[in-house]
Amino acid sequence: MLRTSFGWIMGLTLLWGSLYAVADAPTLWGIPISEYAQRRAQLSQMLESDQVAILASENSPPTRLKFRQESNFMYLTGLEAVNSVLVILPAVSPVGEETVLFLPRQSRVSRLFEGPLPEPNEQTRRETGIQDIRDRGELRAFLAEALKAHPRVLLNRPARAALADTIREANPETQLGGIERLTAQLRVVKSPAELALMRKAIQASIAGHRALAQRLAPGVYEYELEGAAQDAFRRHGSEREGYPMIIGSGPNACILHYNANKRRVGANELVLVDIGAEYSYYTADITRTYPASGKFTPRQRALYVAVLDALKYAEKEAKPGITLGQLHQKVVEFFRNHKLRAKDENGNEQTLDRFFLHGLSHMLGMDVHDLDPNLPLKPGMVFTIEPGLYIPSEGIGIRIEDDYLVTETGVENLSRALPREPNEVERMVRGRLTRR
């Protein structure tokens, strides 16, 4: 009895210790710092012996804009630092450390206006797991030495804008290129921690769609619908939109990237809503097309069903090994062979593929059009499927878009909780569809 009780107590103790260790695993933005370290190590291994990766942070934005870190810098550090530089060296480098982070020291005035920011100190080393953190003022001297052994420099966008002259001054023989080809290969397959954040972004986006649909009625302005979606985003923990909201009513639905959102919605019009919440630097991207009066006209419904059928067809065809280009072509053929027709701007009758004007899919992640290495689909990738038809002669624009995770055998629709069947969409606009 005593032995059994002791073993039971020890088991609980070990279990509690394990749970405590997991719960206390240090993270930044929901990503374990060990995962950031793994990303940096992978990038280091991808570099050739004469290459070096230099990534700059975003600088402080104008007062009217909220700060958002550049995605590649965030992916490798997890830091909302400004005026900072991350250097990744090849796995075997005469310079020394594989990762060196340069951070500015914060002034008293900066701390007053902006609050505390990461600095080169022990706290930042502990929070990031990066051990070699130096003062930003040491960067020029470091580059003068590092570029002797690594004259081929790969830069992110802010570094190309801010550091190109500094790099050439340090070594006029350097060759400058972009880092995106390598980081695309790293970022395209999502980790479990990334997927958890993306699911939260999708949940917030679905809430935004539901709130908008319930606000929709003839006579409201597009910006009122935008406000309803934004409110739902924030209530679900989203820090910002992943991209400017597209809320196009009537003829505006035929403008692919319309985002002025200032028109008044008319009766019996369609409203194309393409919105995505960002959650801890990961975004969703979901589109629905709603009937403003709560019911599709017969013509609207027929075209809507054609787009929905194209989406379902692409879902079935999407699986590991296929490329996004191949998937797109399958949907083009689907529309070309569809029985419906529409008239172009000259009044000539055309098959529906004539009105499918954009790509079917794109990768999704930290950016709404995430870095794409142009590889066949494989498990862990997240991408969109978004067929659409845009017929200005009828004032009809329809797009339906969902977000998908590639699995071993096909795809999982991550945004499936948001209704897309025409009857359900009508009921949601009229406020009678309960949450599933």
pLDDT tens-digit map of 39-97: 999 999 999 999 999 999 999 887 778 899 999 999 999 999 999 999 999 988 999 88
Q: 326, 332, 378: which is closest to 351 by C-alpha?
A: 332
At residue 424, the pLDDT reads 97
At residue 436, the pLDDT reads 38
Rounded CA separation 277/404 (Å): 16
Specify the pTM: 0.92
In sequence order, the β-bridge partners of residue 262 are none
Q: Cα 169 to chain center, whole Å?
A: 36
At residue 125, the pLDDT reads 97
**What phi and psi values does residue 217 have, to the nearest 5 degrees?**
-170, 155
- Provide the token pair at 12: 């609980």
At residue 4, the pLDDT reads 37
At residue 433, the pLDDT reads 46
Q: What is the residue whose two structure tokens read 């924030």? A: 234
Domains of the chain by range and CATH? 27-187 (3.40.350.10), 192-429 (3.90.230.10)
Which residues of the chain carry a pLDDT beneath 50? 1-23, 433-436
At residue 24, the pLDDT reads 63
At residue 51, the pLDDT reads 98
